[in-house]
Amino acid sequence: MLKLFEFVVRFIFRYRKFDVLHCNDLNGFFVGFCCKLTRPKIIIVYDSHEFAINDVPNQSARSIKLKKILEGFLIKFAHGVINVSDSIANEYSRLYNI
């Protein structure tokens, strides 16, 4: 957990001059959200290359539920969401009302 905190702090200071963050997965989206806490005007684009809440084979139902809660919370802070297919885009629209 300490390493994650260290990474987030370093990222925030290193990329503080940027206006747009393109987050390629749920982990990156969390880091982008942390940047937005320090710079509310930064624009976040979430690029979901796959259905993020179910991207790891054989993951537990608890893991899927936690990812869904996290993604549902974070997606409210994105200025845009990119998906690889219409079916995933439709599912995101249904799940998160975007």
Digit-coded pLDDT (tens) for 2-26: 888 898 888 888 877 889 999 998 8
Q: Which two tokens stand for residue 41?
A: 């005007």
Is residue 97 within a helix (H) or strand (E), and if so which, with residue range? none
Digit-coded pLDDT (tens) for 32-46: 999 999 999 999 999
Digit-coded pLDDT (tens) for 52-80: 777 777 888 898 899 899 999 999 999 99
pTM of the model: 0.83
C-alpha distance from residue 24 to each of 32, 46, 50, 62, 64 (Å)? 10, 6, 10, 23, 18
pLDDT at 2: 80
Q: Where are the alpha helices (DSSP H) in the chain?
A: 2-14, 26-38, 61-74, 86-96
CATH of domain 2-96: 3.40.50.2000
CB–CB of 36/12 below 8 Å? no
Is residue 43 within a helix (H) or strand (E), and if so which, with residue range? strand 43-48
